[in-house]
A and B are shown apart, each in its own frame.
Chain A
Amino acid sequence: MVISSTVTHPDEQRQSITCTFASRYMRDPVPKFKLPESSIPKDAAYQIINDELMLDGKPRLNLASFVTTWMEPECDKLIMDSLNKNYVDMDEYPVTTELQNRCVNIIAHLFHAPIGEEETAVGVGTVGSSEAIMLAGLAFKRKWQTKRKAEGKPYDKPNIVTGANVQVCWEKFARYFEVELKEVKLTEDYYVMDPLKAVEMVDENTICVAAILGSTLTGEFEDVKLLNELLTIKNKETGWDTPIHVDAASGGFVAPFLYPDLEWDFRLPWVKSINVSGHKYGLVYPGIGWVVWRNKDDLPDDLVFHINYLGSDQPTFTLNFSKGSSQIIAQYYQFIRLGFEGYKNVMENCLENTRVLKEGIEKTGRFKIVSKDIGVPLVAFSLKDSSQHTVFEIADHLRKYGWIVPAYTMPADAQHIAVLRVVIREDFSCSLAERLVSDIVKVVNHLDTLPSALSSKSAHVAVIASETSKEVKKDITETQAEIARYWKKLVDGKRVGAC
């Protein structure tokens, strides 16, 4: 780490006319561990950072993520203008606060919350579904504890029932808030939570059952209606009143537009809270989620902090405090810009492109489609024959064409199944779908010409590194390291980039 001296460098005197790349700032090593002693011109700072960030992946080619990567320039402008507004300053920015409240109400109505025309909904904007889920979980835990205390029963062992396909933030919630996580294991060909098994696991210490609308691994919708019916029966027998939470992080902005008749939301009486990610199919940049409660009673008052807002009471309940207002404004922009028909058109396009991709992949004859037709628009597929090559290799090779397509193993008890998953976002057009299919075909054909990489018999492995067919020989240590990495990936599969 270079610590600049105090001697004036000739360049500094010519600072204003020296081209950034000709200046000494391009020669000095970039600060990594220690705050540099001197300042540098803003052009140099911009250039240094910009150049490093060129090595990041291209957000739009990132097919691993549900998170929105493109918005209209008008919206970008609004975002820019509100970057310096601290969302939590309700006194100072009343309109921004008002926009947040409108979004909450719009979403609550979309989910058929049982509120009257004149009533306002109970909900809040969060930084993402993680925070939303923690708030919802906290509400359930507190409500259950209060009930148990009133009954004079022990309240120190709360648990939550969910599928093993659950996203990592439920595990975080369980660990941080000291709730036991009871996971319903999956089986081959049934990759979501089985409502029957879930209800079996419910006991008096269960604070809620969490169902997912849009499983991260296969995009499938869990059968919330069946869960509700089974739970109604069990609750009648036991009197435990175990409620349901629906994690609609991806599905919450898909189901109302594509499958309006599917009953999964507040139309089911035991559903008490729902979370959705604004930054997935809500079509906003990363950093916004929403949680909505059925009504006031589902949110224990002692968790809510009361702030006096313009003379009236403004309750708040979030983990984060100060944060930017941009994404909230962007969400509202999308609601009024697109409206119901706009969202519906976008989702229908996604569905159509999903179909194109799925058919293209099926036509190769090498893959089995694991995702369902009804669900979040994504295609999850596994190799029919994994003996010679794995989906991990396919993922690796696709990177060379610029695509980021992740490969995962399924959670317990289906760990032997590994899939590739392509998420179809708003900006993934039909032409991109066709291009991806042709690149997958190229990769598969190419792999057919290679010996199996999982074989540890040969000491040297020949790998074709680029289009110019340069052969690179690896030695034993490298091969073993590669194999170790593959196995490590298999083990850690669930945690790799799945969101």
Chain B
Amino acid sequence: MVFPKPASESDLFLPYNFTSPHNADSLPRFSIPDNSMPKEAAYQNIHDELQLDAIPKLNLASFVTTSMEEECNKLIMESINKNYVDMDEYPATTDLHNRCVNMIARLFNVEIGENESAIGAGTVGSSEAIMLAGLAFKKKWQNKRKAEGKSYDKPNLVTGANVQVCWEKFARYFEVELREVNVREDYYVMDPAKAVEMVDENTICVAAILGSTYNGEFEDVKLLNDLLLEKNKQTGWDTPIHVDAASGGFIAPFLYPELEWDFRLPLVKSINVSGHKYGLVYAGIGWVIWRTKEDLPEDLIFHINYLGADQPTFTLNFSKGSSQIIAQYYQLIRLGQEGYRRIMEDCRENAMVLKKHLEGTGYFNILSKDNGVPVVAFSLKDRSQYDEFKISKMLRRHGWVVPAYPMPPGAEHIKVLRVVIRAEFSRTLAERLALDIKNVLHELQKLPLNIKDEKSMVDTALEANREIIAQESNKRQKIMAA
């Protein structure tokens, strides 16, 4: 979306770089061109412009998968014209979707029989998954309050201040009050005790994160479950838990199978996970799983007649491509448990390598935990001469995209740099990055004082402006840190 700002003359037309007669005129940028052009020219034009985008693989800000095997690419291209929602027409694709739901549900230890079908859906990402889960909680809570004859117009949701922006979206769009537990220095995730304190009769659920976007830490879902059980016994409110396992959902089952965070805990009623993060699929696929049929209110489900049998659907999006679902199934059968385990172990290993190098410089504090999503979040021990944002900027010049942002409310004075270790981030790249970070540190130390030390040089107006930009940048980073 674009906001009004004066465009220059050169912005309104696109100049060409070919000499063919078709390309003699420049292309309008804001309205549809009157004439067609040859397909080769159209391709070349767009292809060339896109060269200016960053290289996806060097983007260390994102959890989202950027490379898949050729065989999978082939399957993706072959199914790009299949509309996922046409269940009648593409029954095999629908079947694959259902199989993915079942496999992921069992990965999360859902309590169902061998041949029973799990309750869940494929979504476009964790945002849609979270909205669906939140909607289910809201409707269930409303139905309960109506039956009890109590007011149901002020639902709220309890979560940590480290929560990803889509929870704020959910709260704003679906009119639920968001109650955030502030973090504090050295404890950058939601404190279960504080969260349970905030729960009241209007709470539709408590949302815990498995793999905080800020530092990859797993929240203590087990403790939350135990505390909430006690409170529920006292109050009779039956407040449930939702686990946002967007990044952690495909890590914990393979690296930490003993960690109890999923449906093994009785109050966990739904879980979401991003297929396009550690599910190892390209952007555009997420999954939401419910514990049982009862956790998904019937009046939210739309029933479609599928080959004579009832196919219930509950998604925000309708028509969309089938490619990512097929790609997810490909990864699940191609890798199997051993494949995923090997990859996650590699990621963890590379994260340790990077962490060791950074600690070795003596300049950084490591804020990420060893047990968690393979992410290295680090901050400067000494921020007097230059800060994390400066380092981030300098690293860009070397080609790396490493974001810097402040910690959530409660610890905003702490700034971090965060490197996400994805499956395609090899040991070589880890060592190269460490080397480049060391180089950047040297460069920064060599810079003369009056350029480094911007605070003493700048007048108040400029500083105020910088503050505003920094604030906006924080918001952006918070959103981007997903």
- Measuring CB to CB, which residues of chain A are less than 8 angstroms from any residue of chain B? 30-40, 42-43, 45-46, 48-50, 52-57, 59, 62, 64-65, 67-72, 74-89, 91-96, 98-99, 101-102, 104-106, 109-110, 117-124, 127-131, 134, 138, 156, 168-169, 171-172, 175-177, 277, 279, 285-287, 296, 302-303, 305-309, 311-317, 319-327, 329, 332-333, 335-343, 345, 404, 406, 485, 488-489, 492, 495-497, 499
Q: Mark B107-131, 1 if CB is under 8 A from A, else 0.
A: 1000000110000000011111001
Among A49, A68, A84, the residue within 8 A (CB) of B96 is A49
Q: Jot down 6 A-B pairs with beta carbons below 8 A, ordered by A.
A: A37-B338, A52-B92, A74-B39, A93-B54, A285-B81, A339-B37
B450 proximal to A (CB < 8 A):
no
Chain A CB count within 10 A is highest, among B56, B81, B95, B401, for B81
User: Is A74 a contact partner of B172 (Cβ separation < 8 A)?
Assistant: no
Q: Bound complex: CA of A285 vs CA of B308, how far in Å?
A: 28
**Chain B contacts for A319, CB-based, 8 A:** 127-128, 131, 169, 173, 316-317
| 7 additional contacts (CB under 8 A) given A56-B90, A71-B81 | A53-B96, A84-B66, A98-B49, A119-B4, A120-B7, A305-B165, A320-B317
Q: Bound complex: CA of A105 vs CA of B115, how far in Å?
A: 51
User: Is A499 a contact partner of B318 (Cβ separation < 8 A)?
Assistant: yes
Assuming A319-B128, A497-B86, is B29 touching A335 (CB within 8 A)? no
Chain A CB count within 10 A is highest, among B72, B274, B333, B401, for B333
Assuming A36-B333, A336-B42, is B83 touching A65 (CB within 8 A)? yes
Q: Bound complex: CA of A117 vs CA of B56, how far in Å?
A: 35
Among A46, A176, A320, the residue within 8 A (CB) of B124 is A320
Assuming A56-B93, A59-B81, is B337 touching A36 (CB within 8 A)? yes
B459 proximal to A (CB < 8 A):
no
Among B42, B84, B107, B300, the residue within 8 A (CB) of A286 is B84
Q: Bound complex: CA of A68 vs CA of B173, how far in Å?
A: 31
Among B6, B127, B337, the residue within 8 A (CB) of A321 is B127
User: Is A499 a contact partner of B85 (Cβ separation < 8 A)?
Assistant: yes
User: Is B338 a contact partner of A38 (Cβ separation < 8 A)?
Assistant: yes
User: Is B61 a contact partner of A89 (Cβ separation < 8 A)?
Assistant: yes
Q: Bound complex: CA of A452 vs CA of B9, how far in Å?
A: 70
**Chain A contacts for B79, CB-based, 8 A:** 53
User: Is A64 a contact partner of B86 (Cβ separation < 8 A)?
Assistant: yes
**Residues in B2-37 with C-beta less than 8 Å from chain A:** 2-7, 12, 27, 29-37
User: Is B319 a contact partner of A56 (Cβ separation < 8 A)?
Assistant: no
- Nearest residue in A to B36 (C-beta to C-beta)? A342
Q: Bound complex: CA of A177 vs CA of B173, how far in Å?
A: 8
B371 proximal to A (CB < 8 A):
no
User: Is A49 a contact partner of B326 (Cβ separation < 8 A)?
Assistant: yes
User: Is B74 a contact partner of A33 (Cβ separation < 8 A)?
Assistant: no
Main secondary structure of the interface of A (DSSP, over half): mixed
**Chain B contacts for A169, CB-based, 8 A:** 318
**Chain A contacts for B59, CB-based, 8 A:** 89, 92
Q: Measured between C-beta atoms, what is the minimum distance from B438 to chain A in Å?
A: 24
Q: Bound complex: CA of A82 vs CA of B73, how far in Å?
A: 12
**Chain A contacts for B71, CB-based, 8 A:** 42-43, 45-46
Q: Bound complex: CA of A70 vs CA of B77, how far in Å?
A: 12
**Chain A contacts for B338, CB-based, 8 A:** 37-39
Assuming A36-B337, A93-B54, is B304 touching A496 (CB within 8 A)? yes
Q: Measured between C-beta atoms, what is the minimum distance from A261 to chain B in Å?
A: 18
User: Is B305 a contact partner of A496 (Cβ separation < 8 A)?
Assistant: yes
The list of the 7 closest CB pairs from A to B, nearest first, reads: A308-B472, A46-B71, A337-B42, A74-B43, A45-B334, A342-B36, A39-B339
Among A49, A118, A134, A489, the residue within 8 A (CB) of B330 is A49
- Nearest residue in A to B44 (C-beta to C-beta)? A74
User: Is B99 a contact partner of A106 (Cβ separation < 8 A)?
Assistant: no
B368 proximal to A (CB < 8 A):
no
User: Is A131 a contact partner of B305 (Cβ separation < 8 A)?
Assistant: no
User: Is A308 a contact partner of B476 (Cβ separation < 8 A)?
Assistant: yes
Assuming A72-B39, A85-B56, is B50 touching A56 (CB within 8 A)? no
Q: Bound complex: CA of A472 vs CA of B101, how far in Å?
A: 38
**Residues in B289-345 with C-beta less than 8 Å from chain A:** 299-300, 302-305, 308, 316-322, 324, 326, 329-330, 332-340
Assuming A131-B316, A286-B320, A302-B172, is B153 touching A120 (CB within 8 A)? no
User: Is B401 a contact partner of A92 (Cβ separation < 8 A)?
Assistant: yes
- Nearest residue in A to B128 (C-beta to C-beta)? A320
CB < 8 Å A-B pair total? 400
User: Is A77 a contact partner of B43 (Cβ separation < 8 A)?
Assistant: yes
B462 proximal to A (CB < 8 A):
no
Q: Measured between C-beta atoms, what is the minimum distance from B318 to chain A in Å?
A: 4
User: Is A95 a contact partner of B52 (Cβ separation < 8 A)?
Assistant: yes
Q: Bound complex: CA of A110 vs CA of B336, how far in Å?
A: 49
**Chain B contacts for A337, CB-based, 8 A:** 36-37, 39, 42
Chain B CB count within 10 A is highest, among A67, A93, A105, A321, for A321
User: Is A84 a contact partner of B283 (Cβ separation < 8 A)?
Assistant: yes
Assuming A74-B40, A119-B4, A176-B135, is B115 touching A84 (CB within 8 A)? no
User: Is A336 a contact partner of B45 (Cβ separation < 8 A)?
Assistant: yes
B227 proximal to A (CB < 8 A):
no
- Nearest residue in B to A293 (C-beta to C-beta)? B1
User: Is A35 a contact partner of B107 (Cβ separation < 8 A)?
Assistant: yes
**Chain A contacts for B127, CB-based, 8 A:** 319-322
Q: Measured between C-beta atoms, what is the minimum distance from A495 to chain B in Å?
A: 5
Chain A CB count within 10 A is highest, among B82, B300, B322, B340, for B82
- Nearest residue in B to A47 (C-beta to C-beta)? B71
- Nearest residue in A to B95 (C-beta to C-beta)? A52
- Nearest residue in A to B342 (C-beta to C-beta)? A39
Q: Bound complex: CA of A121 vs CA of B84, how far in Å?
A: 31
Q: Bound complex: CA of A259 vs CA of B305, how far in Å?
A: 36
- Nearest residue in A to B173 (C-beta to C-beta)? A138
B255 proximal to A (CB < 8 A):
no
B364 proximal to A (CB < 8 A):
no
Q: Bound complex: CA of A52 vs CA of B91, how far in Å?
A: 10
Q: Bound complex: CA of A309 vs CA of B477, how far in Å?
A: 10
**Chain B contacts for A89, CB-based, 8 A:** 59, 61-62, 64, 480
Q: Bound complex: CA of A181 vs CA of B5, how far in Å?
A: 38
Q: Bound complex: CA of A306 vs CA of B106, how far in Å?
A: 38
Q: Measured between C-beta atoms, what is the minimum distance from A394 to chain B in Å?
A: 16
**Chain B contacts for A324, CB-based, 8 A:** 282-284, 324
User: Is B53 a contact partner of A312 (Cβ separation < 8 A)?
Assistant: no
**Chain A contacts for B32, CB-based, 8 A:** 106, 109-110, 335, 339-340, 343
- Nearest residue in A to B116 (C-beta to C-beta)? A33
User: Is B50 a contact partner of A339 (Cβ separation < 8 A)?
Assistant: no
Q: Bound complex: CA of A123 vs CA of B2, how far in Å?
A: 8
User: Is A335 a contact partner of B33 (Cβ separation < 8 A)?
Assistant: yes
